[in-house]
Amino acid sequence: MTITATQRYAYTDLPRLMGLMTGDEKHGPAATSTMDALWVLYDRVLRVAPDRVDDPGRDRFLLSKGHGPMAYYAVLAAKGFVPESWLPGFGSYASPLGHHPDRVLVPGAEIGSGSLGHGLPIGVGTALGLRAQGLDEPRVWVLIGDAELDEGSNHEAIAFAGPAGLERLHTVVVDNSSASHARPGGIAARFEAAGWSAATVDGRDHEALYAAFTAPHPGRPRVVVAQVEPKSA
């Protein structure tokens, strides 16, 4: 089965779309760090479409790194999930586009974000639920930030998903060097120790991202660590 989003804009339109969103608390570095990974996912990998947001066979994308969602909203607008006219109202009282995505208000958003560290556990539960229903085609994608790995809930999810063989579960860790605690061997090593398939790539290289996102990993969940410039740069 193929579900694809309608092509409306190009990647080069994203800065303009993001520029339409003004106001306070934009968390610009958090947004721009995710831009390339989000684009490659929605443009070339995810089986989702604006007119099939409730299709049982769709891929599920969970934005756990929900603070600074401008790039996410820009990609959703580029792919036809939300109208471009919504973007200038970002963060205002009456806008559906809040400083964290709301799954009730934003078409295509699978979860509402908030506390860091909740997305990957939800992803594990989603993958288990799909397995229990016999839905073998949908894939679950979770995008987290490297700082979220300071949260213990993520490590419980990592430790469970590997032995459980959740091969439909995929995690993208956008690494902008903002974590408080270093991990011996790097981020990928933490996942590999729990039985995950792992890759670390340049988070601005679209071909490298695509290759890592689509690499086979039978019987194991997959993590792609997308390294971008440090948050303080």
Q: Which pLDDT belongs to residue 7?
A: 55
The torsion defined by the Cα of 171, 215, 200 and 224, in degrees rounded to 10, comes to -10
Q: Which pLDDT belongs to residue 184?
A: 64
- For residue 196, which amino acid is it? W
Distance of CA 93 to the CA centre of its chain: 26
Q: Which pLDDT belongs to residue 114?
A: 75
Q: Which pLDDT belongs to residue 3?
A: 47
**Phi then psi for 61, rounded to 5 degrees?**
-110, 125
Distance from C-alpha of 13 to C-alpha of 197, rounded to nearest angstrom: 33
Mean pLDDT for back-to-back runs of 10 residues, the chain (233 residues): 59 93 69 94 97 95 90 95 94 91 95 86 97 96 93 94 98 88 81 97 98 98 95 61
Q: Is the pTM of this model over 0.75?
A: yes
46, two tokens: 């995810």
